[in-house]
Amino acid sequence: MSEPANLFAQQESNRRRSHWLVIGFIAFFAWLGFGGDWLAIEVTRGAAPGHYQHIVPWFGLLMGCIGGAIAWYAWRTGPDKVLWSTGAREITEPATPAERQLVDVVQEMAVAAAVPTPRVFIVDDPDPNAFATGRDPASASIAVTSALLNLCSRDELQAVIAHEMGHVKNLDVRLMTLLAALIGAIALMSDGLRRILFQSGGRISFSRSRDSKDSLGPVFAIVLVFWLLSWLLAPLVTRLLALGVSRDREYLADAMSAQFTRNPLALASALQKIEANEAPSSVIHGGAAHLCIADPLGRAVSEREGHIADLLGTHPPMPVRIARLKAMGYQEQKAAGTFVPA
């Protein structure tokens, strides 16, 4: 398949996945609501006269509306929230030669990628890394860590920025930013429920007659356990969604970097330096890790191949990415007649 075909296929895949992510998110909230309604109906079915009896599924309607509102809010403010969570500061007027070089490189790669020039940010972090965020190319931002600026040469920095431009152009930023924002919303919601349950000691009850309590049965118990687990484990579920996003997006962005710069060896060199650096990230956490050019959490699964690693890893193994880029460089040098055997 040609590079343009790959690009268009990735763009369409990201549009489709973004839509299904929002639908699944709202459906999950609806389950939390209507599941709670069903449990409340069963518990209060035989309530004594004058006691509360749950009839109208207001909880499900409310949670469905809340899920839709959160999804809309995440869509509108997700990019800003991601940047805020990492402490990124925007470069409007470069104050140092390194900042000027970064701005120049972003402008150059925007021209090469034929996209509007993104806003430029720096994250003060000892971990050399970079990420892009936004809803589309017109609203995109690119952030690099201070460690990356200090580590990379101009050609290497250009290659890293070109990689992030690839994510912007193929609409990876739309899907990945939306996912990061929804992960944060779910984590806050689950943490709030966990606090409520711990503070109440689990003593949440409804008035119900003895006969109706005895008739709840195993189905009620199963649904109740599953419903509570859905609330408590919601952050894990959304993080698994982030892990399950195809690693192929990184391979495609690497290839697009090589296309924009005509220098795949520069990105290979930058990735080698990033891989060799062992300083952990101090500001980029799990909710935004999948946005970065390299896994800032250093998870072992990101360095493995196979079906399980493809399912759980946010990034392909760095040695594989570097080997592919070096192979591209070899092919270009061979075609130009400039390759010199080691």
Q: Catalytic residue positions?
A: 164
Cα 33 to Cα 57: distance, rounded to the nearest angstrom: 8
Q: In the structure encoding, which two tokens stand for residue 51, read together?
A: 């006691």
* Contact of 85 with 287, CB cutoff 8 Å: yes
β-pair type (89-90, 130-133): unpaired
* Contact of 45 with 79, CB cutoff 8 Å: no
Element (DSSP H or E) covering residue 240:
helix 234-243
* Contact of 22 with 185, CB cutoff 8 Å: no
* Contact of 52 with 207, CB cutoff 8 Å: yes
* Contact of 90 with 120, CB cutoff 8 Å: yes
- Start-to-end C-alpha separation, the chain: 32
What type of residue sits at position 76? R
Cα 294 to Cα 13: distance, rounded to the nearest angstrom: 22
* Contact of 124 with 105, CB cutoff 8 Å: no
